[in-house]
Chain A
Amino acid sequence: MSRGVPSSTRPKADKAAFGIAIFLAALAALIFWDASRLTAVANYSRIGPATIPIVIATCLLGLAVWTAIAARAGDFPARERQQIAPAAWVVGGLVLQMLCLKTLGFSIATGLLFAMTAAAFGKRKLYITIPLGIVLCLAIWLLFAGLLQLSLPAGPLEHLLRR
């Protein structure tokens, strides 16, 4: 899917919606390709592992065509103008958490996510929000990993507390 042309007016042909149609068609093609390499195991049901995926892919193709027609007619609802920057903060926070989780542990990684999300909504003072997030997440870690034995990845901070 493409990010879409922000538009508050209704264009005659909706380019972004065409993008959706292409995405659906591509997804259908991927399923067809994947289903083609499945081998039919001796089976009494006559419906093998590939049958249902092929049905689903066919329907997705149909939906792709339908979407394209609707896009040409400009049938999609008007979209709000999207601001990329705040959303990028949130995505950045999630990516950072993913990258740091195994090495820096739950508290630091999730604390960073906390601060970046707050930043997305206007709290940009990272020197306050990052420590705040880390302390909060450390408390959560103590509660869930310590008391409830949930396996949350430990990093330097958590190891410090364990000793």
Chain B
Amino acid sequence: MKHFLMTTVLSAVLAFPAFAADYTIVAPANPGGGWDQTARSMQTVMQQAGISGNVQVQNVPGAGGTIGLAQFASQGNGNPNTLLVGGYVMVGAILTNHSPVTLRDVEPIARLTGEYEAIVVPASSPIQNMADLVAALKKDPGSVSWGGGSAGGTDHIMAGLIAKAAGVDPKAINYIAFSGGGEALAAILGAQVTAGISGYGEFESQIKSGTLRLLAVSSAERLPGVDAPTLKEAGLDIAVQNWRMVAAAPGLSAEQKAAVSADIEKLVKSPQWAEVLKTKGWQDTYLAGDAFKAQLDKDIAATETVLKDIGLVQ
């Protein structure tokens, strides 16, 4: 143990003259965020599982990932050694930012992980279940303030979908956008807003300790270990997953695409990846190939509709 650090530093020094990049993973976000963590976990696992000797992560932050996407599509064109991490948030960002480059300009390989949205109220709230919330929303949409992440993001889309499914004009929702998960959570805990929407993981420990009441989750089926109905059970026909994916560069040959897909499959099937999912608390929602592309098209179409309904996209 004593010389552990010295040796690791030394070995890192000795190792790097040889680090030829077999893969460069573009994380279209700042270091530390969800996409960056996904990219860096992929980096570690690909190296540990022997899928690729050397993997680099490149951060291209900005505008919900659309800047990284645009740069990746133009610079990576035809290069089978570059990968892009992305997610559902990108779908909305492409629409609200009028991004000229879309997910159709890259080669989506597979959905890797996903998280479901949770609808919560503070424990002190008189609202006991989804039916109460829907009733309040129907009575006076403005009186129900929703706290969640940035405008046009997954949380905002959820609020729009709930209003629509409940027969309320999605334009009338009183959605209060907060900059980060933490700030939104603080506003919900402090009962500054009526209800909160965010990824289940953001709320998990608060729900378990009883300071927040979980009304529903956005998964299609009940989640194991989570004591709450799905939105479908609550009578709202909505299922949303905030997924993260990996895409390859455009302009690859069929063989190159197959090779990349095979590497990603190896990654997902590796025990090291299972370990990562466990420690990070990520759900495995691996979906590859045409099935993923079909799902992606469905998500894009649905998102476009709801963003138009909310009035964020004309």
Contact = CB atoms under 8 A, between A and B. Distances in A.
Interface residues of A, number: 12
A142 interface: yes
21 contacts: A41-B311, A42-B172, A42-B311, A44-B142, A44-B174, A142-B16, A146-B13, A146-B16, A146-B19, A147-B12, A147-B13, A147-B16, A151-B56, A151-B58, A151-B59, A161-B17, A162-B17, A162-B19, A162-B20, A163-B17, A163-B20
Nearest to A148: B12
A149 interface: yes
Contacts of A41: 311-312
A149 B39 CA distance: 13
Contacts of A42: 171-172, 311
B186 interface: no
Interface in B300-314: 311-312, 314
B57 A151 contact: yes
Contacts of B20: 162-163
B21 interface: yes
Contacts, number: 33
A12 B21 CA distance: 64
A163 B16 CA distance: 9
Interface string B3-20: 000000100110011111
Contact of A149 (B18, B57, B171): B57
A142 B13 CA distance: 9
Interface residues of B, number: 20
Interface string A151-163: 1000000000111
Interface string A25-66: 000000000000001011010000000000000000000000
Interface of A: 39, 41-42, 44, 142, 146-147, 149, 151, 161-163
Nearest to B9: A147
Contacts of A39: 314
Given A42-B311, A147-B12, A162-B19, 14 more contacts: A42-B172, A44-B142, A142-B16, A146-B12, A146-B13, A147-B9, A147-B16, A149-B57, A151-B56, A151-B58, A162-B17, A162-B18, A163-B17, A163-B18
B84 to A, nearest CB: 14
A151 B174 CA distance: 40
A162 B21 contact: yes
Contacts of B142: 44
A65 B174 CA distance: 40
Nearest to B16: A146
A43 to B, nearest CB: 9
A27 B13 CA distance: 50
A14 B312 CA distance: 47
A28 B167 CA distance: 43
Nearest to A49: B151
Of B16, B57, B312, the most chain A CB neighbours within 10 A belong to B16
Interface string B242-276: 00000000000000000000000000000000000
A53 B56 CA distance: 41
